[in-house]
Structure 1
Amino acid sequence: MKGIQHISARIWLSLLIFAGFATLPLIAMATDDPFLLLIGTRILAYAIAAMALDLILGYGAMVSFGHAAYLGFGAYAVAILNSYGVTDLGLHILGAVALSAIFALLTGAISLRTSGVYFIMITLAFGQMAYFFFVSLSAYGGDDGTPLQARSTLFGSDALENDRVMFYTALALLIILFAGATRIVGSRFGRVLIGTRENPVRMEAIGLAPFRYQLTAFVISGCMTSVAGVILANQAEFVSPAFMSWHRSGELIVMVVLGGIGNLTGAIGGAVVALLLEDWLAVLTEHWRLLFGVFLILMVLYSPHGITGALERFKGGRK
């Protein structure tokens, strides 16, 4: 019963976060600050990526240190398809998902034969291989990247050129993917994945195949992350290999840890807090990373379950 109450509380918290996002364009209009929409769209993209990573990190104990590669696949799918005259957002997402699924299937099949630090290092190696491949892709700017000629089209129109439409499209994708991820976690598949995290030997003993479940989750997570890459490319109207560097993978892990591992709502909240802190601290000092590091250390020491864990503990204390 307590677990059900926690899940319900997290769903309500998610709805509150989504409602807060929905009001951002109104705030931007009232304050005459259109830059808020650009920041908000970027946060939505990283919220999708952090949530996708948490699906395997929090529920499957798979610490992928090359997950930013899928951000790059999503971003380059937009740039490459645009260069061939394919501009539809749906086709861009489909292309990103297809490319990510193939890469995740091949690399996951190899990486998941290891565990612990070996899994981390192999995913990092594959991520760097993808990074250097796009660095060498001179047709699309190589290390310097390439600007987009235009944003993706939506049902044949250039509606996404409007920052407000772009923002709400990103929000809709986040909500859809959150609903899907929540359904996965609550399904039999999700329970087996969690059981594999806790005791893979026991899962095998009762006749289940942990490898297949982990590989499927790995592919789903990579595909979800590529959608975030499509959003980032359209938001920035620029694509470069920097989207898929190992630093970016580390930032995604920080977002998940900050929000609370094994908590899809926490991953979204972690992305929001991490990116807002980055912007605010950067205004205060050029050494903002030092302050952010101190904040992260304090969170890990005093709230191991992240921000959502602290909120749940505070709510329990009030009772």
Structure 2
Amino acid sequence: MSPQDALSEYLAHLGVERGLSEHTLAAYRRDLERYVGFLSSRGITALDQVVERDVTDYVEALRTGSDGGSALSASSTNRAVVAVRGWHRFEVREGRCPTDPAAGVRPPGGVKRLPKAIALEDVERLLEGASAAEGVLGLRDRALVEVLYGTGARISEAVGLAVDDVDLDRGAPSVRLFGKGRKERVVPIGGYAVEALEAYLVRGRPVLAGQGRGTPTLFLNQRGNPLSRQSAWAVLQAAAERAGVTAHISPHTLRHSYATHLLAGGADVRVVQELLGHASVTTTQIYTLVTPDTLREVYAASHPRALG
């Protein structure tokens, strides 16, 4: 089987059996098609011909662009190497390759960066900016931002919500989110988000739904169709502009802020892991890193010889 045919089969496996989203599958396809091109340039016509040196040389090509593609950052290279390792493991499990040439290849180390969170004051200004949109769109935009910040949802999870995924029971309000691989988790929401959702569901969504043909999706556009990821991003950008928030704002900014503010308030990192839907607590622990400014502040406030 040619590498291209093997790749098509692997992507089908990821989509059907592992339930990866179209967005994630597209990223896998880009990374692995570049790998197939690299192997082809070496005259490799089947995956069982690949040796470890081919994989390590590919990693170097990703960092330098020596294969004719763009030079990638450490984090992007890591993502591509993970894709290659997963593909080779799959080929071994399927019995088409006797050995795994990528098993001993490790992605290059990268510098851990602190996620960029915004201050609570900026979150509140952003919410006011969302509410300032005209008519029913203001109700929708406020509800969307409240859900993003109030649950730490990924943007794909938020725009994928159905009306039935929202439980506004005042005793234990929650939303049901479907994360990577369609993994389900139920996340509690607070009173502000409940109020915003109730206002949108009663006075906003019925108006928008009347423009379409009927869909169970929670957040709708002006034509009554499901709100897209790109449109949700535009909602945040417009809200930030109206509110005069100069910090970089994206859906992930609110997810980072949700996690950072929870931990700052005393939440346990493993609880935050469950709320965010991280498979490993290691991913969540990046939020516990402290900045040099924080270190200096703690030292100045706590060390007996810090003054003077």
Q: TM-score range by the shorter chain?
A: under 0.3
- TM (norm. structure 1) is 0.23
Write 1 or 2 for the structure with the bigger share of helix: 1
Between 1 and 2, higher relative CO (CA 8 Å, sep ≥ 6) is seen in: 1
- TM (norm. structure 2) is 0.23
Higher gyration radius (CA):
2
